[in-house]
Every structure is written in C-alpha cells, then in structure tokens.
Structure 1
Amino acid sequence: MTAVYDSPVVLDRRDGPYGEVVLRRHGGLLQIIANGCFLMDTSDGRSERLLVDAAYDALDGRPAPNVLIGGLGVGFSLAHAAADPRWGRITVVEREPAVVGWHRDGPLAEVSAGALGDPRTEVVEGDLMAFVHETCDTFDALCLDIDNGPGWTVTDDNHTLYSPAGLAACSRVLRPGGVLAVWSAEPSPEFEGTLRNAGFRQVRTEEVPVARGVPDAVHLGVRPG
C-alpha cells in the first residue's frame, strides 16, 4: 500500500514590496515562503525561543529591559518574549505587510494573538535597516531573525545588515552593555569574527540540534559599556 502524504495548501499569496510572499498550510504546520525560498514554519520554535532567552540572560539581570525584534516571521520570538514578564517594551519591525496581516487577523494569529494584545508590544511595518538608522530609541537587546542567517539572506540587500556598517548601526541603537543576538540556520565562525571586528565583546555562539543536518545557531555579542 502506498503511503499518502499531505500536500501543502496555499492559504495566501501576495506580491509584497520585496517580492512574492506565500503562506501555506502543510498538515498541521504553517509555512512562510518568500520568493520561492522556504523561510520558516511552526514546527518547532526552540531556536527562536533561545534567541530571546540568550539575549535576556546576557543582560545579567538588567531590570525590565527593552527588546527590539527584527522580523515577525511565524511569531515564535515575539510570543516567547511577551510570555516573559521580565521584559519591558517589546518592539517588532517587520517589512512585509502580508506577514503582519496574517498575524493580526489571519492564520498566524494562533501563534501571536496574545502577544500582539500585550500592552508592551509595538509592531512597526518597515525595513529594519531603515529603522535602526532613523530611530531615536535605544534598546537593551536586539534580536535578529529576518534571514536564514548572515550567509543566506532572503534578499540580496539584506547582506548589508551583517556587514561592518550594518552591525555598527545595530550597535548604535543598543544601550551600553546591550546585547545583539542573531539567528542563523547554521553556525558561522566567520560571522563571529565580523562581530568582534565591529566592536562587540563576549562574542559566542549557542547551537540547537535539529533532526537532520547542521544545528541552528544564535550568535551573540555585547556592546561595550
């Protein structure tokens, strides 16, 4: 007897400001696809939760720290931060209006509805690089989860975010002793070197094993005091 597997079902497909974005349901999972590239799904979320927790732990008990999350995605990072009363203000920057809409009144509300309703939460529709260059706000932690990693970006122009100039802009919005945490689909010793060269201290990488292939990773660096 031949096994029957569920086929992905497209729930929404839109032309966004940076190309096509698609929301699919595959069995019990929701998946986001950008320009034909699989970005993320709702299968696990361990590494996204680690992204938030590792950033908080690196702050050494700073009271009510404010966090900037780059990328809403399927909402795991936001939901995890909002579930932790120790965080202060939670700001999320997402450049795809479709993704924001899927969370506000679409299928992804099942992940993030409570977090979006949290009075600490603010969602900003816009490009993260533009935000860090233009904002007058500062944050205790910046958690980046907008690509598959420094070496595997969703669009070519995202490479600038992980360049020395982009990391300098990220450092500018961090308070002294603030933490930059960067999600990656694989560890990158090269990126660790880039963080050090950009002036970050206490650079390290935490890994999350996956069922197959190389582990997910969270790269961490601290802005000097």
Structure 2
Amino acid sequence: MSSPSPAAPAAPAAPAALAGPPGPARRLPAVVRLAALPTVLAAICGAVLLAPAEDPEPPLEPGHPQGRAAGHCDALMAALQAVSVRGYGPAPDSRPDRYVLAWQSSPRTVLRCGVDRPASLESLENRRKPSPAVSGVVWYDEPDGRGGHRLTTTRRGVYVEVTVPAGAHPSPLDPLADLSPRVRAWIPDLAGDTGVDDEPPLPGEDATG
C-alpha cells in the first residue's frame, strides 16, 4: 500500500491592497482633484479678504489725573486747543473727555494727559532704551499694537501720551515738534520746574499764590 503523496504547498496569497478607506479623494480622478484646487484657494482668499480689518485709529479712553496733576493737565489741554500738529488742526469731535485731544491727520494723532505709567517700563531693558528728546521733553517710544507708535513723557510729574498711528505722519516723532514745547511749559519735570521763566498760575489758583 503506497503512502499518500505530500500535499502541494499553498500558493502565495496575492498582496493585499494598501489599507485606507476609499474616501472621496481616492475615488476622484487626479485631473478632477487638480481642477478643484483653484476653487478651494479662491474660497480661502475670499475669507481672508472679508475678515474685518483692524481699526488703525487710536483709542480715546481718557486719563485720570488727580489733585495737582489734574490742574497741570487742564492747563495743557487748554493751551493745545488752538495748536496745529504738522498743519493738522484739532478734530472738532475729538474730545470725549477733557483730557483727550485728537488732530485731523489720517489716521488721527491723539494726545491723552494723566495716563498711567506704561506697563512696559517695568522691564529694565526697556527703561535702558535710548529715548528721543524733543524741545527738552524726553519721550518713551513703544509700538501701539497697530503698526504705529505710542510716545509717553518720562521724567515729568504727569504722564502725557501721544499716539501716532502708522501713516499719520512721515515720522512718528514729527508731532512732537509742535507738542513738546507746550508739554514742557505746562507739565513740570520731577524737580517741579517747567520750561517758562514765569509760570502762569494754574486754573483756579491765585497768581500771587
């Protein structure tokens, strides 16, 4: 009785197809997928263009000077009422508060008196940065967060802030040529001195004080 012949080896299995769900992109021909790209890109660009642009105009929130500082701010704001900044007069609707004034550059240039000390001056590195001095007034320069500059007086008894938006003037320091002499005259330095020989009395004070 002959022994059974050994079983023939099984044929190798055909290689399985690459795993992956048959999604719509796999079912579409390459030509169709490429043709859809311009539509997708156009939709993305349209969404970006329709997004609201950031307002370049500086905020008009007022400062809050107290005591004698408020008197100095009152005197400064009164002195600035008829002052033009690089040829631009004060904007007629720019005074939501007595300590805020804007000029009709585009975007507008805004001065606020009696603001808080800039938070970025907590940094020793920022305090050591060179600061521009115009007509005897030193200004701390920092970005305004909108592409422009925010300049704040230092070494004075009251913080005065001037915001110069991007595009308002050829140089962010240009408005300081008109504003610094008034700031020096009405906002005393840390020694209590101003830039005038005979300082006029503050509003409400007796000249013979």
TM-score in same-fold range (> 0.5)? no
Structure having the higher strand fraction is 1
Q: Which TM class, normalised by the smaller chain length? A: under 0.3
TM-score (norm 2): 0.26
TM-score (norm 1): 0.25
Could you say which structure has the larger radius of gyration?
2
